Structure formats: C-alpha cells, structure tokens
Amino acid sequence: MKLPVKMTINGQKVSHEVEPRLLLVHYIREVVGLTGTHVGCDTSQCGACTILIDGQAVKACTLFAVQADGVTITTIEGLAKNGELHPIQQGFWEKHGLQCGFCTPGMILAAYQMLERYPKPTEDQIRHQLEGNLCRCTGYHNIVKAIQWAAEHMAGKK
Amino acid sequence: MATVVQERLFGKAIKRREDPRFITGRGQYVDDVKLPGMTYAAFVRSPHAHARIRRIDTSGALKHPGVVAVFTGKDMAGVNSLPCGWDLRKEKNIPGVVQDLAMVPHMPLTADVARHVGDPVAVVIAESQAAAVDAVDRVKVDWEPLPSVTVTDRAARSGAPQIHTGAPGNVAFKWEIGDRSATDAAFKGAATTVKKRILNQRLVANAMEPRACIARFDTATGELTLWVTSQNPHVHRLLMCAFVLGIPEHKVRVIAPDVGGGFGSKIFLYNEEVVCSWVARQLKRPVRWTATRREAYLTDAHGRDHVTDAELALGRDGKILGLRVKTTANLGAYLSTFAPAIPTFLYGTLLNGVYTIGAIHCEVTGVFTNTTAVDAYRGAGRPEACYVLERIVEAGARALGMDVAELRKKNFIPKFSGAFQTLVAVSYDSGDYAAAFDRLLQMLNYRKFRAEQEAARKQGRLLGIGFSTYIEACSIAPSKLVGALGAGAGLYESAKVRVHPTGGVTVYTGSHSHGQGHETTFAQLVADELQIPIEQIEIVHGDTGAIPFGMGTYGSRSASVGGTAILMSLNKIKEKGKRIAAHLLEASANDIEYVNGQFQVKGVPSKAVPFGAVSLTAYVPHKYPDNLEPGLEETSFYDPSNFCFPFGAHACVVEVDRDTGAVQIQRYLAVDDVGKVINPMIVDGMVHGGIAQGVGQALCEGAVYDEGSGQLVTGSMMDYALPKADMLPLYETDRTVTPTPVNPMGIKGAGETGTIAATPTVVNAVIDALAPLGVDHIEAMPLTSERVWKAIQAAKAKR
C-alpha cells in the first residue's frame, strides 16, 4: 500500500506515493535525492538528520514521511540563499566547527533554531541546546565558537 | 620582470578548502552514491554470543516480494578467510614471542559456528532496503547455543568455553618485552613499591558516519568498483583481492569518497564489503549496504579492553627504578586486520614514557572471547600504555608522599635531539619533556591551585587536579622495522604530483582524509614549495583508480609521511623544471634556482622563466633539451627512517560532588609538542577532538557485555554514553615545538595525542579530588557518578 505525500522542500514542491512506514529522513535522502541530511543512528540520539519543519528544528528520523504531508521543510541544501552562505554556515567555516562534516548539517540546523530562541546565547546555553547533536571529531569547542561567531554576525545584520 | 613574493602558508591557520561542500550538504559519502539498478543487502546475524549453526533455511526469504537472492557461508565456497595482517611467530623471528599467534580463520559468512552476537551468517539481497530487512526475519537459522565467555580475564581460565579449535585455552598469543631479571632486581632494591590493577575498558569508535559499501561489477570490462568507508582504499583492495576473493587487483577499483570519521575503525577489511563485492560479481548488479548504528556497535572493530597488573619500584628520592606490567588483552572473537600489533608493539614499546626508568618488563597475553573483534581505536595501544604508566606513577608519588608534579620532574628524560634509546626497543627522535610540563604548570598557576584546593577542602569541597605527561609513537612507520616486528605490509606513503600544461597542479596522495583536512594542509605545502597560488592546487585522495598505491591514514602519519612524499615529488618537479628552464635560458641547469615562482639564473631575477611557462614547455616541447622526457609529473614513495614521538603535558581540574559522586570538569589544559605544525587551526581541532574522546573514556564511555548471555548491552547510542557538548569545557591549549629530525619538515603528528593524554589526566584528577576521603585508586573506568560514589562509600567503610 502506498499513500500520497506532498510537501515543500527548500522552496520546491514535491509529491510522491510512498510506503506509510517510510521515515521522513529516508524520503528526503532516497526519494527526493537530497543527501545532505545524514543518518548517524537508529535511535534519534545523534541529530545528524536535523532539518527545519515549518521553522522548527526536527530530527527527520522521528517521523514518517506521510506525517509530514503539507509541511514546509528546509534542509542544509536550502539554507544558503542566492549563493550566499547563512551566517551559521559561515561561522562553522570561520571557526573550524567541522572536521569530517557528517554531523555538520544537523549541527547547523540545530543552531539555527537555537539562535532564534536565544539570539545572544551564553556558552552554557549553546552547550545545553546541543545535547541532541553528537559530534565525534571536534570535541565541541569549535562548534561553540562557530555558533558564537554566527550570533555576533546575525546580531550585526539585524 | 616583476615578481610577487608569495606569503608562506606553512604555519598559517587558513580556513579549510573542503568546508564549503560540507556546510552546504554537498559532501558525498558512500551512502549518498546512487547507481541505476541498485540492490540492497541486509545481513542475518547471530543473536547468540556463541552457537553452532545446525541448518539455515532460506526458502521463506527467497519467496519474500522484492528479494533477489540469499547467500550463506556454504554458498561462498572458494572464498577465503579475512586475513590478519600482523604475524607473531617465533619461526618468523618476531621479537618477544613467547607463544605463537593462533591464526584462526575468519570467514566472511560463518558457516559452522557463530562466535559473537552480530556475527554474520547470511545475506539477503533485495530490490529495496525495506524488502531486504523484512526478508532477514524470514531466514530461519537452527541454532545450537553454546556457553560463551566475554570477560577478558576469564577467557583463558580452565573450563572456559573454547572459541576456536586452533587456539587452545582461548590464548591468541603470549608476548613480552624488556628485561625480566633486571626488573626483578630493581624491585628488590626499591624503597617503595606500589601495585595496582588497572582496567582499560572496551570502547567503540563511533565515527558519526556508519560503515557502508557499494559494489558494482561491470560485465563489459570485468571491473569491480567498490565504494567503501575506508581510511586506506589500497589496503582494502590488496587484502580483498589477494587474500579473500582471489581476483586481480588491476580489475578492482576502490573508492573511499568523503568519509565521516574513522578513528581507526575504518582501517580494517570487514565481512560486509567482501560479501557485497562477491555478490555483485554473482548477480552482476550493484549492491549497497549501510550499517545501522546497532550493526556498527556489533561489528565495527572495538578498542582497548585490557586487564593489567602494574607495579612500580621507587627509590627514596622518587627516582623510578622499575616497572613491571602484566596485561591480558581481549582480541574478541576473531583476529581483526592489525589486532595483534596493538597490545604488543604499539603498547609495550611505549611503557618507557617520558621518564628515565631503571628497568622495565612487560608481558602480554592476547585472548579470544565471544565479543566483537578488537583492533586499533584512536591511539591504539599507546593510550593503554600511557594510562598504565601515568596512573602507576601518580600512585607511586602518593605512596612516597611526594607531589605528583615533583615526582615527574625528577624523572624526565633530559632534553635531547637525535636519539634516546628506551628500554623497550624503540628509540625516540627528539624531546624536551620538562619544557612542555613547565609551560603547563605556568598556564595552570599550579602553586596557586594547590592553595585554592586546600581552602576548598577545608570547606568540604572535593577539588582535584590530574596530570599526564605522555609520549606517543606515530608517523607510522619504517617498513623494514615493522616488517621485522610482524607487519604484513610496508608503511611508506606515496604521492604523485601532476603539473598541468597551464600551470595548475594536481596532487594524488596515498593518504586519506576523513576529517583531517588534507585538501587544505597538503595544498599549503604545495603552494609554499612551488610558490603558486593555492587556488591552482587540487588534492586528490581516496580512489585507487587515480592515486598511486598508498597506505592511507592512521597512526598520525599523513602530514609527516604522506606530506614528505609530496615534498619529494615537488623537489623532483623543480629539478626537472630547472633543466627545462636552463634550456630556455641557454644556461646550465646547475646555475638555475627556483625563486618566487620562477626559474631564474642564480642571483639574476631578470633572467627567468615563470613556472607556467616551464610547465607549458614540458607539454609543448618544441624548444626542449634532447635527452629529457616531455611532461611534468613525478611520483614518490617515502619510507620514514623512524617513528616520530610527539609528547606533551595535560592537566585537568575537577570537582566531585561528595553526595552523588558526579564529576564536573572545571578546566582542561593541554600543552602538546607535535613538532612543526602546517595549520595550527587544524591541529588545535584534532587536539580538542582527541581530548573529548579521552575524557569520554574516563567519564562515560564503555562497551558492556552481559556476562551470562554475551549480549552487547551498550548496542545503541541510547546505551553507549558518548560525550556531549554540555559535559566538556573550552580547552586551554598551547604548544611547544621540538622538530623531529626524522623528516625534512620536522613534523611529528597530531591526530592521537589528545586521546592518549586525556584519559589518565581526568582519572588522576578524580583520584586527587577523592584523596582526602582515603580513595587512592579506582580500578575500572568510566568514572560514572555511581562508580565514584561506590568508591567514596568503600573508603568510608574502611575508616
């Protein structure tokens, strides 16, 4: 049995017929073909699949594609606008907030929502808000610095 | 002609050139590769720690919609065992062998007995991932469960279940290093001796990207292409072709594209990639397999898992007279690719540390258990050695009533360059151990800290500081030396530099980047040597179809060994360029020098040919020396003359909650000496990540098997506690720079230092915090609040 599903991803309307058990993350990666959203675990711990659904950071492994019918999604591929990096992306680059790059898309999108909630986050707030995202390369030091860099530059732009 | 002097990039923290693709989601990892006609593999794995396979019925799975094929071990007749690439046998004259290594078979799909939970016994191939996973449940295996053993120091006891017929008593090997009688004598003359049981628990690497592979067989060309999460694609190709599948290497291309972290776990040849390669040749369709995280926990090679009894003999003055170490190392159910080397030549040889020691003896017994195979995990043997030494040295200082910093200072090997012969075979390259430690104490304001600690203790607070002054062996490694120690491979590195006609440069390196940033650091080297803009340089790695035969990335070897190979090729390019330029300038090649991006007559910048003109001439050789080949492309293989030995000093300040046992890190400081540094930003990042992994071992990580059932209890990220952002501080880092004389750039290696140093640093800090309560040792890690609380209660009960 397949069910129809429609959504808007990075400004593009997509619609497919999918198995009801297909996870949203697999829909995005395997059906839509956007492979920047990663799968790092089976238990919703790692956060590598974090995307924005209607502006909220969500782990895309925590819902089925059919549950996301009608929503608007931003994945890492949709964050830069007109070829210009988002300040969070720029911050990760400036501050060496990534090494292997696998957790990075999820980290950046988790940071996106964090900075909406806390435009001037303290170090403790950043660390606490990143509890749902695991990184094995950086020891988190430069991820904290990257988000601080982004917060400063986003404040400057407003 | 105006020349522009280009800024030297060696030592500059330039931003990484690989980052734009990663921060925009355009990286390409194995699981991102999509091929037409793809099929999907799912493995049937043993649910038992140890069980005989009576029968496998695949008929139900074969009837499942979408299933293409099912294969068992019996179907793979003619396929050989996965090889172990390190030999420990007396007849091979491997030093220190007490009992020969039992080379037990490790079949890609086991057909007779499963020896650990997760051991693959069959594979289902289907048109979709979901169909393959569904059909796995329809493969019926008639199991005869057998008793199992998972605990390291119980494997070799009499009565333990036998895991391999070729390894009586589950002993894989026995090995020793050092001088037993000199060590016995040192202990007889000692003023103080301490003895501790020190456990180094089993860890799982947990690269964020799970292992994956895609195998495609091209029926027209007969070529097999394997995309695989590998730190060393040529090693994968060699082992798979020559040893397991018996297919010619020139018909196999291995591609390791973007790889999401390795930490050792992606060095090895694994069952799944062999099976998928074999299946692709059978079915003539592409086959993809991506590990679930649960599969990663069950099958990625684990790390550490040592049980050690360590003894230290000290003089009244605090001098270290002797060190005696007896270790049992758990190798798991099978011999992983480099498993025997880790608890032997990468462990015993580091027990001299940074100290002048009177005598050392170390004996190691490797054992088989019904657990996942153990092999190199970040540091690999060296963290285990450092942990033993730095724990027993602090225990010795406490027994003597001497300050732990003071005791270290009394015993440091004095500053040297060239060679320091240790008591455990290796010869260090260069070192100034006191300088790194002094810098650390200065950053810490050590005396002030002790005063603060005293004040805190009076208030009943448990504040502690821990140190480690570590050494490691990296830049792995001289081929002749490791060959004499049992390695089945050489450990050189390769680099091909191709200058294009219009002056751009592509470097094909045998090293592999899975987070290390080679596309940046190697380009920095090339830009400096050729004095051309970094934008004209491309670094290619990870594709056996493009790069020369190379050994890959592990053992902190890429900059020092891989980078030197690049340097050698660049020198050859410049030498050939001089001959071409000499011809154009009507001068002698001996009179040409390469300065500021141009070949010029020595001291005469006006008589010069720019790099781009020489490269164009090399490919359009109209005006060209008679006895010179056209083209500008050079390949080099660099085999180092010794390991390099980075070192440093780390400190950690912790506060322990006396009611709950919870450990809070207040400060973490590191002074590392990794020799010369190409990109300090990248090196700092590696140090940070290494520290986090070392802290993880000290405080939260550990793979736990249930003793009765042999089940891996920590088989998911819910159960295996990885360090998170909110348990770690900002690290305070600095460096001293003691160049190595081993390679021309003076680079030692930086990939593993943090992991090696951090674990004993944190544990020593916790013990220091608990000292007023009478706790002087905790055998096992991680130091969870429960374990610390129990230690506090046990100490209270003794009083």
Size of interface A-B (CB pairs under 8 A): 181
Residue A140, pLDDT above cutoff 90: yes
Amino acid at A146: A
Asked if A43 and B717 come within 8 Å (Cβ–Cβ), the reply is yes
pLDDT in tens, A75-129: 999 999 999 999 999 999 999 999 999 999 999 999 999 999 999 999 999 999 9
CA of A82 to nearest chain B CA: how many angstroms apart?
13
Confirm or reject contact between A50 and chain B (CB < 8 A).
Answer: no
Inter-chain touch B726–A128, beta carbons under 8 Å: yes
Nearest-Å Rg of the Cα atoms of chain B is 28
Closest CA to B23 of A61, A152, A111, A56: A111
* Residue A41 contacts B, CB cutoff 8 Å: yes
Quick check: A99 and B754 CB within 8 A? Answer: no
**Nearest 5 degrees, angle CA A140-CA A141-CA A142?**
95
Q: Tell me whether domains A3-78 and A87-157 share a fold.
A: no
- Closest among A103, A60, A105 to B692, alpha carbons compared: A103
DSSP state for residue B570 in the 8-state scheme: H
pLDDT value at residue A51: 98
What's the DSSP call for residue B426?
-
Q: Minimal Cα distance from A29: which residue of B?
A: B32
- A99 contacts B517? CB cut-off 8 A: yes
Please tell me the total number of residues recorded for chain B in this structure: 799
What's the rounded mean pLDDT across residues B147-151?
98
Annotated domain spans of chain B: 492-638
* pLDDT score at B1: 43
Span B224-237, pLDDT tens digits? 999 999 999 999 99
3-class DSSP string for B25-80: CCCCEHHHCCCCCCEEEEEEECCCCCEEEEEEECHHHHHCCCEEEEEEHHHHCCCC
Task: Tell me the CATH number for domain B492-638.
Answer: 3.30.365.10
Nearest CB among A26, A85, A103 relative to B208 is that of: A103
A55 vs A130: CA distance, rounded Å: 17
* Residue-wise pLDDT tens digits, A54-81: 999 999 999 999 999 999 999 999 999 9
Q: Which long-range contacts (CB under 8 A, 24 or more apart) does B792-799 make?
A: B792/B658, B792/B661, B795/B770, B798/B774, B799/B774
> How high does pLDDT run on average in chain B?
97
Q: pLDDT confidence of B323, banded at 50, 70, 90?
A: very high
CB < 8 Å to A135, chain B: 208, 725
Residue closest to B637 by CA, chosen among B472, B479, B770, B775: B479
User: Which of B541, B545, B425, B549 lies closest to B492 in space, CA to CA?
Assistant: B549
Residue A77, min C-alpha distance to chain B (Å): 5
Among B22, B29, B678, the strongest candidate for a mutation testing the A interface, having the largest count of A CBs within 10 A, is B22
Nearest to B726 among A22, A75, A127 (CB): A127
Q: How much is the pTM?
A: 0.97
| Structure confidence by residue, pLDDT tens digits, B620-659 | 999 999 999 999 999 999 999 999 999 999 999 999 999 9
Interface check A63 vs B, CB under 8 A: no
Whether the predicted pLDDT of B799 surpasses 90 = no
State whether A100 and B690 contact (CB < 8 Å): no
- Residue A137: its chain B contacts at CB < 8 A? 208, 261, 515, 685, 689
C-alpha neighbours within 13 Å on the C-beta side of residue B91: 2
Asked if pLDDT for residue B37 goes beyond 60, the answer is yes
Going from N- to C-terminal start, the domains of chain A cover: 3-78, 87-157
Which CATH number does the domain A3-78 belong to among 3.10.20.30, 3.20.20.10, 3.40.50.720, 3.40.720.10?
A: 3.10.20.30
The H or E element that residue B270 is part of is none
A128 touching chain B per CB within 8 A: yes
Are the Cβ atoms of B692 and A79 closer than 8 angstroms? no
Instruction: Please answer yes or no on whether A99 and B34 come within 8 Å at the CB atom.
Output: no
Q: Do B692 and A140 touch (CB under 8 A)?
A: yes
Q: Alpha carbon B168 to chain centroid distance? A: 30
CA A153: distance to chain centroid?
Answer: 20
- Chain B partners within 8 Å of A94 (Cβ): 15
Give, in words, the CATH class of A87-157.
Answer: mainly alpha
Interchain CB distance below 8 Å, B260 and A104: no
